[in-house]
């Protein structure tokens, strides 16, 4: 069972790391230059929520249960933010932004809760 927990934890961390890398490069390339020149509130909230997800990712290396909760919550908030700004027509975008953090967050929470 210990081997399975290690594999699930590593898989969740890899998926989250790839998602952070992808979204970080995307946001930096597309939106980071605009953050100082416009009052785009959606861009600023997305950057703030992505920073929250990055914090949860690094925190989950030491405390997987608590880091998983932060990741799951940030995934939920990212999806909610997309729904708020785009409405029901951005359902796919909300899933694209939310699921890569929500699912690994739940897995890390599950694995971290079983460690003790």
Q: Would you place residue 116 in the very low, low, confident or very high pLDDT band (cuts 50, 70, 90)? A: very low
Q: pTM higher than 0.85, yes or no?
A: no
Residue-level pLDDT at 75: 92
* Cα(94)–Cα(11) distance, integer angstroms: 22
Q: Distance between CA 89 and CA 48 in Å, rounded?
A: 23
pLDDT band at 106; cut points 50, 70, 90: very high
pLDDT digit string, tens, across residues 9-55: 999 999 999 999 998 888 777 666 666 666 777 777 888 888 899 99
CB contact at 8 A, 104 and 53 = no
Structural tokens at position 40:
């785009």
Q: Give yes or no for residue 71 having a pLDDT over 70.
A: yes
């Amino acid at each position: 069972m210990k081997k399975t927990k290690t594999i699930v934890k590593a898989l969740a961390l890899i998926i989250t790391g790839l998602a952070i890398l992808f979204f970080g490069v995307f946001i930096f390339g597309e939106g980071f230059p605009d953050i100082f020149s416009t009052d785009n509130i959606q861009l600023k909230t997305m950057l703030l929520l992505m920073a929250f997800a990055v914090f949860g990712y690094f925190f989950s290396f030491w405390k997987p249960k608590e880091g998983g909760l932060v990741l799951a919550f940030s995934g939920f908030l990212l999806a909610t933010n997309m729904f708020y700004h785009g409405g029901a027509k951005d359902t796919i975008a909300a899933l694209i932004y939310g699921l890569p953090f929500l699912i690994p967050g739940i897995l890390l929470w599950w694995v971290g809760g079983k460690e003790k």
